[in-house]
A and B are shown apart, each in its own frame.
Chain A
Amino acid sequence: GAVVSQHPSWVICKSGTSVKIECRSLDFQATTMFWYRQFPKQSLMLMATSNEGSKATYEQGVEKDKFLINHASLTLSTLTVTSAHPEDSSFYICSATSGGVEAFFGQGTRLTVV
């Protein structure tokens, strides 16, 4: 299957700082990327849908000014958690699709805010 690479795999940051997470489709062009968040022992929750060249669509309850998404190319989307706080500590996962029936997921980023 297609490969989606997420970087970094884990990050620890101080409260109040910003963290950028990258999601790359390595062998296909991803017209759409999705960002999910997963808290311990819970399922994945969709945060936003990112389309190349246009503004991301955020799910209800997700602050667009806090979670900045940029999808500047067909192979890269970034999620920036601004002014991170301990409650933002979570497992962030991206997925990418070229419009086919399958969605491919990155390996996830474990964010810990201290």
Chain B
Amino acid sequence: DAKTTQPPSMDCAEGRAANLPCNHSTISGNEYVYWYRQIHSQGPQYIIHGLKNNETNEMASLIITEDRKSSTLILPHATLRDTAVYYCIVRASLGGSARQLTFGSGTQLTVLP
């Protein structure tokens, strides 16, 4: 699986958009970009994933650059409950095969009141 690089920490004002970057310059054609987050002392929570098109769901939007070497997770209106460590993970999806997720160090997002 390709390696990812994320800033160790970011702050965001409550109510504003939080934009979390991820660099994955060695990503290969069959690898997806996944985002999970981990609130303190809880298990990771799936947020969103994408291959090359931008994706949006009720939690967030995922913007993937055209060359797929980087992506940005956008939380449109951050709340205090969004304070967590956000993990960007690149992994190939092999149809029915199950593969583990490899977690990097992630970005600690702190939403400030």
Q: Are A93 and B44 in contact (CB under 8 A)?
A: yes
Shortest CB-to-CB span from A73 to chain B, Å, is: 16
Q: Are B104 and A43 in contact (CB under 8 A)?
A: yes
A76–B32 Cα distance when bound, in Å, is: 28
A43–B101 Cα distance when bound, in Å, is: 12
Total chain B interface residues with beta-carbon distance under 8 A: 23
Given A101-B49, A101-B93, A102-B49: A108 and B100 interface contact (C-beta under 8 Å): no
- Please tell me the size bucket of the interface on A: 20 to 34
Measured between beta carbons, the chain B residues less than 8 angstroms from A58 are: none
Q: Which of B41, B96, B101 contacts A110 (CB 8 A)?
A: B41
* In the complex, residue of chain A having the shortest beta-carbon distance to the beta carbon of B45: A105
A61 within 8 A of B: no
A interface majority secondary structure = strand
A101–B35 Cα distance when bound, in Å, is: 12
A45–B100 Cα distance when bound, in Å, is: 10
Shortest CB-to-CB span from B56 to chain A, Å, is: 16
* In the complex, residue of chain B having the shortest beta-carbon distance to the beta carbon of A57: B100
Q: Which of A6, A31, A99, A102 contacts B43 (CB 8 A)?
A: A6
Q: Are B44 and A99 in contact (CB under 8 A)?
A: no
Shortest CB-to-CB span from B46 to chain A, Å, is: 5
A5–B113 Cα distance when bound, in Å, is: 32
B65 within 8 A of A: no
A32 within 8 A of B: yes
A94–B87 Cα distance when bound, in Å, is: 17
Q: Are A103 and B41 in contact (CB under 8 A)?
A: no
B42 within 8 A of A: yes
Q: Are B100 and A46 in contact (CB under 8 A)?
A: yes
Shortest CB-to-CB span from B24 to chain A, Å, is: 16
* In the complex, residue of chain B having the shortest beta-carbon distance to the beta carbon of A101: B93
B interface residues, Cβ below 8 angstroms from A: 32, 36, 38, 41-46, 49, 87, 93, 95-98, 100-106
Q: Can you list 9 pairs linking A and B with CB atoms under 8 Å apart?
A: A31-B98, A36-B103, A43-B105, A44-B44, A46-B100, A93-B44, A95-B44, A103-B46, A105-B44
